[in-house]
Chains A and B, each alone.
Chain A
């Protein structure tokens, strides 16, 4: 099955700076790459996603990049705020249906005021 590696596991940044989280996957047939944010004590919620027919997607301060050749994708949060502090998960979806997501190990982001 698909394997997703996520780095770093812990990330601390100053408020107003950028934060970057990187993920790699193994199955070249994966075609859907979502990012989930989980606040303490809460459930994971989708914040942005990208499909294999795109290389870049931006929603406000969130930017996702996809490099299919290298089998890597990344999340960039510009102008971080304390409210961005949370656990972030990347994931990859197997092609062929089932919407079976394989998640990365997670990144704990702390934004320091």
Chain B
């Protein structure tokens, strides 16, 4: 069974609206990440967290907030969705030790209209 689950799997949002993408992991991993995937850009890190109640900015954090209320849950929040945020978003978890495997969720396809 999937150890990293994302919801919703697909969403159409209106420009200026609020979007929350949720991620739940049962891997007992400390690290969680949000990446976005766009054609030609690969996977880019938005936010990550290594402990509950703390989040860190990744490489492209502008326009996004993150929340880690527990070890298992990590949310990505778009307060004012914009057209440029149309993308596929992947959540991932990883054990603590540097250089370990990222376990990705199934992805959330977001279309902003």
Measuring CB to CB, which residues of chain A are less than 8 angstroms from any residue of chain B?
1, 6, 9, 31-32, 34, 36, 42-46, 49, 51, 89, 93, 95-106
Whether A44 contacts B98 in the complex (CB less than 8 A), given A98-B50, A102-B45, A104-B42, comes out as no
Whether A100 contacts B58 in the complex (CB less than 8 A), given A34-B101, A44-B104, comes out as yes
Q: Across the interface, do B98 and A95 meet the contact criterion of CB distance under 8 Å?
A: yes
Q: Across the interface, do A1 and B102 meet the contact criterion of CB distance under 8 Å?
A: no
Q: Across the interface, do B40 and A98 meet the contact criterion of CB distance under 8 Å?
A: no
Residues of chain A contacted by B100 (CB below 8 angstroms): 99
Q: Across the interface, do A99 and B106 meet the contact criterion of CB distance under 8 Å?
A: no
Q: Across the interface, do A43 and B98 meet the contact criterion of CB distance under 8 Å?
A: no
Count the A-B residue pairs with Cβ separation under 8 angstroms: how many?
Answer: 65
- In the complex, A93 Cα to B98 Cα: how many Å? 8
Beyond A98-B56, A104-B42, 5 extra complex contacts between A and B, CB < 8 Å:
A6-B42, A42-B106, A103-B44, A105-B40, A105-B42
Residues of chain A contacted by B35 (CB below 8 angstroms): 103
- In the complex, A45 Cα to B43 Cα: how many Å? 13
- In the complex, A49 Cα to B102 Cα: how many Å? 12
Q: How far is the CB of B108 from chain A (nearest CB, A)?
A: 11
Q: How far is the CB of B1 from chain A (nearest CB, A)?
A: 14
Measuring CB to CB, which residues of chain B are less than 8 angstroms from any residue of chain A?
31, 33, 35, 40-45, 48, 50, 56, 58-59, 90, 94-102, 104-107
Partner of B43, one of A1, A44, A93, A96: A44
Q: Which residue of A lies closest to B40 (CB)?
A: A105
Q: How far is the CB of B52 from chain A (nearest CB, A)?
A: 16
Q: Across the interface, do B58 and A43 meet the contact criterion of CB distance under 8 Å?
A: no
Q: How far is the CB of B53 from chain A (nearest CB, A)?
A: 17
- In the complex, A102 Cα to B48 Cα: how many Å? 13
Whether A46 contacts B102 in the complex (CB less than 8 A), given A98-B48, A100-B48, A100-B58, comes out as yes
Q: How far is the CB of B91 from chain A (nearest CB, A)?
A: 9
Partner of B98, one of A1, A42, A97, A104: A97
- In the complex, A102 Cα to B44 Cα: how many Å? 7
Interchain Cβ contacts under 8 Å between A and B, 13 examples? A6-B42, A31-B99, A32-B99, A34-B101, A36-B102, A43-B107, A44-B102, A49-B101, A93-B99, A102-B45, A104-B42, A105-B42, A106-B43
